[in-house]
Chains A and B, each alone.
Chain A
Amino acid sequence: MSGVMKRMGMIFRAKANKALDRAEDPRETLDYSYQKQLELLQKVRRGVADVATSRKRLELQLNQLQAQSSKLEDQGRKALSLGREDLAREALSRRAALQQQVTDLETQHQTLQGEEEKLTLAAQRLQAKVDAFRTKKETIKATYTAAQAQTRIGEAFSGISEEMGDVGMAIERAEDKTAQMQARAGAIDELLASGALDDPSGMAKDDIAAELDRLSGGTDVELELQRMKAELAGPGADKQAIEGGQASQGQQAPQAQPGQPRFDKQ
């Protein structure tokens, strides 16, 4: 739709929005509008009063004309009783002219009365409308004030909830951190247990070290035993062979022996 209706509507809306934007407080605009309506009502009332005044003036004129008319009638009758038919005719013809004016004025009076009644009704209706507008205006103002308060409360609430959100975030972060730390602690325990990590406290190494110690200790005992046997068998020629065997045994033992406990663990 691009016709006159639409274009006028668009222009009106744009202007009204601009006007509303400029108004600092819609309540003031409403009050101003009400003031204007009261002025309008005042004007209509003044109009009604003016019409009523005109009607009264017409009524006065009518009364005068009617008095004159009856006077002329009396004069005609009197002239006729005195035998002056010519005078009576004159009086009656003047009265007839007056009567015409009276009829005209009466028509005018009726029109004016109708007009006055219409205007009075219009003024009453306008009064009712202005009253209704006042009520509506007060309602709108109250609603606006309430809405304003609500907005403020809402803002306060959202501010609070934002802070609550921050607190929530902090808690969440703390929880995350705790969980992370717990997970890490668990992982460390496992790593330490598996021997992949060195424990600075030296506690986790105990079982492996103890076993290693025990095993290497066992080797020492074995070596000692062999040396003793060799000493008993006789010193000299055999000593080198024993030392070579000792060396090969020493190399073999640490390779095979630490391997076994690891298999057990896994």
Chain B
Amino acid sequence: MIVRIMGEGQVKLDDAHFVELNKLDDELLDEMESGDEDGFRRTLSALLDAVRRLGAPLPDDSLEPSELILPAEDATLDEVRQMLSDDGLIPG
């Protein structure tokens, strides 16, 4: 599967890693929903590290749709929450 880290690029990940990543990902969602900024920061960093560690970066000029997208390392809880609301991200 191809995962994009916003502002960094795309990473190709073996599907076998998703058990590990899913745990962090669900944790991140919980922290986002409960508004736990510190936990959010910690988990996001851990998740991004895991993706970078387990995945192989894709060349920047390759045109592949990302199946999963992660916020940038410095994204705040509010920004991510806004992105997940219906009219964030790309306007329209």
Contact = CB atoms under 8 A, between A and B. Distances in A.
A and B bound? yes
Interface of A: 1-9, 11-13, 15-16, 18-19, 22, 129, 132-133, 136, 140
Binding site secondary structure of chain B: mixed
B73 interface: no
A236 B56 CA distance: 135
A2 B29 CA distance: 8
B74 interface: no
7 contacts: A3-B25, A3-B29, A6-B25, A9-B67, A12-B66, A129-B61, A132-B61
A129 B65 contact: no
B57 interface: no
A3 B69 contact: no
The contact size tier of chain B is 20 to 34
Interface in B17-76: 18, 21-22, 24-26, 28-29, 32, 47, 60-61, 63, 65-71
Contact of A4 (B18, B63, B70, B86): B70
A9 B61 contact: no
Contacts of A2: 26, 29
Given A12-B89, A15-B89, A136 B68 contact: no
B21 A5 contact: yes
Contacts of B16: none
Nearest to B66: A9
A1 B65 contact: no
B65 A5 contact: no
A4 B71 contact: yes
Contacts of A11: 83-84, 86, 88-89
Contact of B69 (A12, A22, A140): A12
